[in-house]
Amino acid sequence: MEKALLYDTTLRDGMQGENIFFSPEDKLKIARRLDESGIHYIEGGWPGSNPGAQHFFELAKDIEFKNAKIAAFGSTRRLGKTCETDANIQALLDSGAPVITIFGKSWDLHVESIMQNTKQENLAMIKDSIAYLLSHDKEVIYDAEHFFDGYKANFDYALKTLEAAVEGGTKCLVLCDTNGGSLPCDIETITQKVIDHFKKETDLIFGIHTHNDCAMAVANSVTAVHAGATMVQGTINGYGERCGNADLTAVIPILSLKMNRECIHPDKLAKLVNLSRFISETANVPPVNSRPFVGKSAFAHKGGVHVSAIMKNPKAYEHIPPEIVGNERRVIVSEQSGKSNIEYKAKELGVDLSKSGANGHQIVSSIKELEDDGFEFDAAEGSLKLIMEKLTNQFIPHFELESFRVVVEKDKEKPCYSHAMIKIRVGNKTEITSAEGDGPVSALDNALRKALTTIYPQINDMHLVDFKVRVIDGMDGTDAKVRVLIESRDENNIFSTIGVSEDIIEASWQALADSFQYKLSLDNNKVK
C-alpha cells in the first residue's frame, strides 16, 4: 500500500481565512489534536511575520508530539540580503521547529513585475535559502508558489525554479495552485510532466497545495496524488484565504477509503468528525452541515424512497458507512417524508408505533399539516419526538402551563428590562415563580427553570446554546408568522426544538417548553 503524507496548514494558511483567528494557546490545543489524529506535518505559522506565531513555537518547544513534525513557514531570503542577514531566515531558525517550509516564486510575472527582481537572482535566492537551512540540520520543504500558473506562462523557467530548489538540497517539492484557478486536467498533466522531468532524482518527494477558488481544491489534490504526488497540504474544514484551501476532512477519507493510500489509522479516521467540530468550535465558526464526510447532513436522508431503501440496505444511498469517519446516519422527517421515514425515525427516537394512537400514515399526514403551517422538523428533532409521542398517546407531560406574563420596560437611560411571571402545574402541585432576564425569552427561561429545579434538579445540567428567529413569510409584515428554533445542551446531548406563531413570544414559549419537556423525557423522570 502506497503512503500519503498529510501536511496541515490550518494554523497558518487557515488563519488567513476571513473571520478565522486562533490565539497561540488555541493553536497549541489544535496542534495537539492534529497530532493525536495522525497528521504527519503541522505548520505552526510564519515566525517572521507576527509575534503570535513566534509565541506558538515557544509554547510548542516543550511539547513532545507523537506523530507529527512541527513546521515553521517563511519565504526565501529577500532580494539584496544574505541568509545570515535576513531577519525572516533567522526567525525560522530561532523558532526551533525541526522542519522549515519556505516558498519561492515560480511565475516570472511575480519575479519581474511584483518583486522587481531578475529571474537569475530569484533562482539564487531559492537555492541559497534551502542550502543555508539544511546546513543548520533542518528538514526543508520547498513550496513552489504559483507553480501551475507559472508553468502555463513559462514552463522552462518554472522548472528551473524547482531545479534550483533541488540543487539547494531539498528532498520535497510542493507544487502550489496558489490562485486556485487550475482544473484537474491541468493538475494531472503538469504534475506528471514535473515528476517525469525529475525521474533521475529517485529520492524526491512531490507534494500538492491547492486553493478552492474554482471549487476544485480537493479534486485537484486527489488528482495530483493520482499523478504521483505523495504529500497533500491542506486545512481542516478547508479554512483559508478567499475561498479556502483543500479540505483535509475530505482529502483524508478519500485517500484512505477510495484510493487505498496508507494515510491515518482507521481508529483515528473514526474521530474525523470530532476533529472537524473541535476546530470549528475553537475558531468560533458554525460547522457546515453539508460538508462531505463530516457534516451533519452528510448522511442525512429525507426522501421517502431513499429512506425505504436504506432500511433494507444502507449501501443503496450511502457511499461509505458513516461511522467509519465518526459520523452517523440521520433520517429527516418533513413534508417530503413517507411512512418509511416515520418508522425509521420512531425507532431512532425510541417511539413505539405499535402503541395505540396514530399509525405511520397518520403521523406523516399530521407532520405535513404542521409543516404547511410553518414547522420544520428536520431542524428540531426534540419537538418531533414529543409530537410523535403525543400522536401515539405516549407523551407524559412533566409540567403543564397554567399561564405566564412577560413585562418589558424601557426608559431613555437604560436598556430594555424584562420580567416574567409563570404559573405551571406539576402533577397536583402548582408552582408560581418570577424571574428577570436580558430579554423576554431569557426571563421566561429563568422563570421556568426556577419553577422546575426544586422538582427536577437535573434541569441545572441543561443550557440554551442557540436561539434563532425566522420570519416565514414577510409579505404579511408584522402579522407574519415566525419560526423559533432553540438549541439546548446537557452533559451528553445536543437537541433542538421549535415553535411557530404570529406572536414571537408564543413561538418562543413553544420551543422553550419543548426543550424542557424533551430534556426530562431523556432522563425519564416522573413527578416526585
Quickly state the pLDDT bin for 524 (edges 50, 70, 90).
low
Q: What is the mean pLDDT of the chain?
A: 91
Tell me: pLDDT of 352 over 90: no
Phi, psi (deg, nearest 5) at residue 464: -75, 125
The verdict on pTM exceeding 0.95 is no
Average pLDDT over every residue of 5-31: 95
220-236 pLDDT, tens digit each: 999 999 999 999 999 99
* Across 81-95, 190-204, 275-289, 314-328, least confident range: 275-289
Q: Domain coordinates of the chain in residue numbers? A: 5-264, 300-391, 400-523
Distance CA 54, CA 223 (A): 35
| Inter-residue contact 425 to 438 (CB < 8 Å) | no
Task: With a cut of 90, say whether residue 363 has pLDDT above it.
Answer: no
Report the amino acid identity of residue 384. L
Let me know if domain 5-264 sits in CATH 3.20.20.70: yes
Q: Which of 132-141, 329-338, 448-457, 468-477 has the lowest mean pLDDT?
A: 329-338
Does domain 400-523 fall into CATH 3.40.50.2300? no
Residues contacting residue 476 through CB under 8 Å, at least 6 positions apart: none
Of the candidates 236, 233, 252, which has an alpha carbon nearest to the alpha carbon of residue 99? 233
Q: Could you tell me which of 237, 526, 512, 226 has the C-alpha nearest to residue 382?
A: 512
